[in-house]
Amino acid sequence: MSVSHRISATGFTISELIRESAELSLGIHPADMAPQAMETPLCAGRLMVHEVYPGLTATANDVSYLSEHELSVEMEPSLLCGLVLRGENDMMNAEGYGQVTKRLEQPTVVGFGRSTRFRRICKAPYTSCAAGFILKPSFFDRFGEDVTDDGLIALRDFFSGDFRVETLPRSARVIELGQRNLDHPYNGQLGELFLESNTLSFVIEIAELLKQERRLVAQIGRRHYDRVMEARDMLDANLVTPPQTLDLARQIGVNITTLQDNFKKVFGTTIFGYVRTQRLLMARVLLLDYRLSVAEAGYRVGFASPAAFTAAYRRHFGHPPGKETARERD
């Protein structure tokens, strides 16, 4: 489409510019930039994969699997960042490296410096609701050797080895950015601009989390940081019957005071606070996916009364659990 320049050489006002732009927009049919609806014998829902910048691709999905099948894809050297927004932990197998688990509401960063095949068994009924981005080495080419930001350096370092996985702490800001990519209301050039801006913000937030990780490693040491991550993994794997703090410390080989202190430095909360947060996330799954009542969901995750559960849920999510059940009815 050819567009001639019709603004006077003597200049223009903002009103004139807006009027000219509005007239030009009448001849343009905006592309649909929202996640696209899909329905196949294997799955149904919404899916979005869009390159917003050379070497940077935004991803988002809200898909229900209708039958059991295996997905297999070989990827060139990349950095994958995935965030499970709703539902259960998501697992895939990296050929030659083992299982990668993406945890609910915790960003998972996977980097590999050579082509790698990923396999995933999709079981029905199962819903995957997630967002993220894919970075290629070419994304960093424009910076040359001038990358000085610790976060960007940390991201680029994911390409330096064969394979690397990092699960980062929960971030309300990252969850918000992921949800926006999935549910944004824009089309055409405005949609392009939004996806570019929001996905770059996503990258920056992940880089900031990696910077924080580097600071923590420098503060408490790699060994103690890894022990805290090991403790977190053990808690995640046993949320229904979590180990007592003393038993957890014994199993990972540190004293209880050191574990409690370092756990709070890394996650900003106590071990009990972390388990309670994960239990609230479990409750949200029970409300949305299993349609339990508020009282039953609260009981299942360990609250003695519906009132105590409702208060804790409101503090964490910003709304009462009854809003989830009302949303399902709508």
**Co-location of 172 and 309 in the same domain:** no
Q: Which residue has the higher pLDDT, 69 or 6?
A: 69
Domain contains 267: yes
**Co-location of 173 and 234 in the same domain:** no
Q: Which residue has the higher pLDDT, 40 or 239?
A: 239
For residue 11, pLDDT over 90 is answered with no
pLDDT for position 112: 93
Domain contains 324: yes
What's the whole-number mean pLDDT along residues 95-109? 92
Domain contains 12: no
For residue 70, pLDDT over 70 is answered with yes
Integer angstrom CA distances of residue 256 from 11, 213, 272, 277: 71, 22, 13, 21
pLDDT for position 251: 95
Is residue 178 classed exposed, middle or buried when 0-12, 13-18 and 19+ CB atoms within 10 A define those classes? buried
pLDDT for position 7: 43
- At 9, the pLDDT band (50, 70, 90 cuts) reads very low
Domain total in the chain: 2
* Cα dihedral 49/167/196/145 (nearest 10): -120
The three-state secondary structure class of 10 is coil
**Co-location of 215 and 226 in the same domain:** no
For residue 275, pLDDT over 90 is answered with yes
Domain contains 28: no
**Co-location of 212 and 284 in the same domain:** no
Structural domain ending residue among the three candidates 178, 193, 219: 219
Phi and psi at residue 212, to the nearest 5°:
-60, -40
Domain contains 79: yes
pLDDT digits (tens, 9 = 90+) for 227-263: 999 999 899 888 889 999 999 999 999 999 999 999 9
**Co-location of 214 and 238 in the same domain:** no
What's the whole-number mean pLDDT along residues 56-73? 88
**Co-location of 75 and 157 in the same domain:** yes
pLDDT for position 3: 42
**Co-location of 108 and 49 in the same domain:** yes
pLDDT for position 153: 83
Q: Do 107 and 171 meet the contact criterion of CB atoms below 8 Å apart?
A: yes
Structural domain ending residue among the three candidates 219, 248, 274: 219
Please list the residues that pair with 127 across neighbouring strands.
64
For residue 21, pLDDT over 90 is answered with no
Domain contains 29: no
Residue with tokens 């899916």: 47
Residue with tokens 């001038």: 146
What's the whole-number mean pLDDT along residues 155-160? 86
Q: Which residue has the higher pLDDT, 39 or 17?
A: 39
Q: Which residues contact 31 (CB under 8 A, 6 or more apart)?
A: 187, 188, 191, 192
Structural domain ending residue among the three candidates 219, 249, 266: 219
**Co-location of 174 and 305 in the same domain:** no
Domain contains 10: no
**Co-location of 173 and 312 in the same domain:** no
pLDDT for position 2: 41
**Co-location of 52 and 180 in the same domain:** yes
**Co-location of 304 and 190 in the same domain:** no
What's the whole-number mean pLDDT along residues 307-315? 96
Closest CA to 90 of 59, 113, 51, 49: 59
Q: What's the mean pLDDT when you consider all of the chain?
A: 85
Q: What percent of the chain has pLDDT over 90?
A: 54
- At 35, the pLDDT band (50, 70, 90 cuts) reads confident
**Co-location of 62 and 162 in the same domain:** yes
CATH number at 43 reads 2.60.120.10
Q: What percent of the chain has pLDDT over 70?
A: 85
Structure-token pair, residue 131 = 């967002």
Least confident of 10-24, 127-141, 199-213, 248-262: 10-24
pLDDT for position 17: 52
CA 121 to chain centre: 20
pLDDT digits (tens, 9 = 90+) for 183-228: 988 888 888 999 999 999 999 999 999 989 889 999 999 999 999 9
Structure-token pair, residue 155 = 């991201």
Q: Which residue range(s) make up the domain with 266?
A: 222-329
